[in-house]
Amino acid sequence: MKQGIHPDYHQVVFMDSTTGFKFISGSTATSQETTDWEDGNTYPLIRVEITSDSHPFYTGKQKFTQADGAVDKFNKKYGLK
């Protein structure tokens, strides 16, 4: 690998803005804002709008827009009387 062309990879704390859920991960993102983590170290804090803690797919609160399948639509349109 060439030296000096890659961004600095370090530990960062990501925080969900809506729920306050925090997790630590490696990233090249930087921030002026910092936070103290459970291990006693201080890490840069990156605020994000959606994480697995607030996304409807992971929370089970997702809405299903397609209730009828193709067969139901056909039967509704040309249905047996």
Q: Which residues of 1-32 are buried (b: 16+ CB within 10 A; e: fewer)?
A: eeeeeeeeeeebbbbbeeeeebeeeebeeeee
The per-residue pLDDT for range 42-61, each reduced to its tens digit, is: 999 999 988 878 776 666 76
| Residue 26: predicted pLDDT | 95
pTM attached to this predicted model: 0.66
The per-residue pLDDT for range 2-51, each reduced to its tens digit, is: 888 999 999 999 999 888 899 999 999 999 999 999 999 999 999 998 88
